[in-house]
Chains A and B, each alone.
Chain A
Amino acid sequence: MKETTLLKIALICSLTGLLVLYFISTKIDVKDYKPNLLNKNIGDDVKLTGAVAKISDAGSVVFIEVSQQNPMTVVLFTDDDINLKNGDDVEVIGEVQEYRGKNEIIAQKIRVIK
């Protein structure tokens, strides 16, 4: 196989990948969570950004209050220590669940963004 043929195949391979990436990348991002649309989001995977207002550690479960337009409770099940403090700006990715009439987010990932 000639080198130019190989490079042509490589180019087609990359361009095909780029095309697929272009279409799929729009579907991959999780939706930003808007607390004012509360009841429409139950069961959805969402992304929430805001500042940590309060942290209560109850052993293997941690409740984090994230202030946005409305305060929102984020529940994180973990046995590890979490490195969060009040005032941290965080991005939470998780699933919206209803608990005793209120919505909360069961977190899969929390990261500090600032």
Chain B
Amino acid sequence: MLAEIVVAILLGCLMGVISGITPGLHINLVALILFSISPFLLGYTNVIAVASFIIAMSITHTFTDFISATYLGAPSDDTALAVLPAHRMLLEGMGHEAVKLTVIGSLLCLIITVILSPLLVIIVPIIFSYLKNYIGWLLLSVVVFMILREKSINKKFLAFVVVALSGILGLAVFNIPNLKDPLLPMLSGLFGVSVLLLSLTQKVTLPIQRTTEMIKLKARDTAKALGSGVFSGSLVSIFPGLGPAQAAVLGGQLVGKIDVFSYLILVGGINTVSMILSLITLFTIEKARNGSIIVVQQLLQSIDFNALVLFLAVALIAGGIATFLTLYVSKIFSSIMNRLNYAMLSIIIIAFIGLMVLYFSGVIGLLILAVATFIGLVPNIAEVSRSNSMACLLIPIILVNLL
């Protein structure tokens, strides 16, 4: 049994690296593939080992997906907000350090969440019952705050325009019937292709990437980022419909002003925390809030205390291995970047995203990608924060909660 689980964890970590570095591939899509192959896997091993494989892969994915977000500028909804600061650091030759910061966030938040899990088992239902009626208002105030934090009246108005355009896009996309994987074209357009296009038009040349240890983190900001990462990641697991992206917006507002390095730690931690918390909610309220954990739920129906402890141990092992793997792969990417023509790379990635969208979401997906790319250019032209574009996810959820 132990040997089977260890092999499953190692295989899961390797698969998590492959899924994580594939541009635009979301963990829920991976979960869907896993669900379809789980009967095949069950023919070779027991259900606990298959579940361990899925958890190890998902945890590793939450570490490695920042590699494609940073080096290739291709986000999933979990990494959308990290793309911008991480990509900016890449353009300053600090791509590896950006990835390292998200890894610090992922690993430390993972450890904190596992340590706090006995407490969280008690607190999670209390927070849920207290806040569940106000989630729409809470997110609305986040959107209003996002607009108001822009400096001048003119900028506030332009931020409102970006929020409105993105919100309308989100509403339209979620109302298209039978559209598979709607987030892929929308977020790739808003946060991926538009950024790459801008780099192309501005003739950005990538400086030599270095792997030094120059960044000094402020202890206070790091602590704030880790605390907010654990809190925001917990919210994702508690509230249905609230994704890591919305939690990142919320978390970013909660901690107030922190430096860009600590912000990457915060965004890095949220996805990993939400994965762990989903295991805890599966144990406490038998609800899975996340694609991978839904597959685990389908396999096991419910999990007892021993299984929860086992899966938390699996997550710890996978998190440790994922740290090594992510830093190693990041260094490979960093050295490849030094030899690549960045403009050519951007064109190849845009073409790759286009093909992925065509494959997963069809021709209508390409149309969404084009519209989202145009809207994604607006914050840059208007010189307002690009995180206003997250309204594409926030506005539909606000309306569902308030209407």
Contact = CB atoms under 8 A, between A and B. Distances in A.
A78 interface: no
A21 B213 contact: no
Interface in B314-336: 314-321, 323-324, 327
Determine the interface band of chain B, counting residues with CB < 8 A from chain A: 35 or more
Interface string A1-38: 11100110111111111101110111111000000000
A62 interface: no
Contact of B316 (A1, A17, A22, A113): A17
Given A3-B327, A24-B309, A25-B5, A17 B314 contact: yes
A6 B317 CA distance: 14
Contacts of B1: 25-26, 28-29
A41 B342 CA distance: 67
Contacts of A2: 213
A102 interface: no
Contacts of A27: 306
B2 A13 contact: no
Contacts of A11: 320
A49 B103 CA distance: 44
A65 to B, nearest CB: 23
A111 B44 CA distance: 11
Contact of B310 (A12, A21, A112): A21
B143 interface: no
Given A21-B2, A21-B313, A112-B43, A28 B104 contact: no
Given A9-B107, A22-B2, A28 B307 contact: yes
A10 B5 contact: no
A24 B306 contact: yes
Contacts of A109: 47
Nearest to B48: A28
Nearest to A91: B46
A86 interface: no
Q: Is the interface of B mostly helix, strand, loop or mixed?
A: helix
A108 interface: yes
Nearest to A114: B43
A7 B327 CA distance: 9
Contacts of A6: 100, 103-104, 107, 323, 327
A13 B107 contact: yes
B357 interface: no
Interface string B98-111: 00100110011011
Contacts of B254: none
B217 interface: yes
B217 A1 contact: yes
Given A3-B100, A10-B320, A25-B1, A18 B111 contact: no
Nearest to B308: A24
Nearest to B301: A108
Contacts of A17: 312-320
B306 A28 contact: yes
Contact of B313 (A10, A18, A111): A18
A13 B310 contact: no
B5 A1 contact: no
Of A10, A12, A111, chain B has the most CB atoms within 10 Å of the CB of: A10
Given A1-B104, A3-B327, A25-B5, A14 B306 contact: no
A3 B96 CA distance: 11
B113 to A, nearest CB: 12
A112 B324 CA distance: 38
Contacts of B315: 17
Given A14-B316, A112-B43, 4 more contacts: A14-B319, A17-B314, A24-B310, A26-B2
Interface of B: 1-2, 5-6, 42-43, 47-48, 100, 103-104, 107-108, 110-111, 213, 217, 301, 306-307, 309-310, 312-321, 323-324, 327
29 contacts: A3-B213, A3-B327, A6-B323, A6-B327, A7-B324, A10-B319, A13-B107, A13-B110, A13-B316, A13-B317, A14-B317, A14-B319, A14-B320, A15-B320, A16-B316, A17-B314, A17-B315, A20-B310, A20-B316, A21-B6, A21-B310, A24-B309, A24-B310, A25-B2, A25-B310, A28-B48, A28-B307, A111-B42, A112-B43
